[in-house]
Amino acid sequence: MSDASRWMIAIAFISLPTIAFGGYFLLSILRRQSGTEKITAEQSSYFRAGHAHAGVLVTLSIIGQFVLDQSRMGEGLVWVTRIALFAAPLLISGGFFGGAPRTAGGPAAPLIRLVPIGAVLFGLATLGVGVGLVVPE
Per-residue pLDDT tens digits for 23-64: 667 667 666 665 555 677 777 777 778 878 888 888 888 889
Question: What does the alpha-carbon distance between residue 52 and residue 61 come to, in Å, rounded to a whole number?
Answer: 14
Cβ atoms of 45 and 101 closer than 8 Å: no
pLDDT single digits (tens) 66-108: 898 888 888 899 999 999 998 999 898 888 888 877 777 777 8
Cβ atoms of 109 and 102 closer than 8 Å: yes
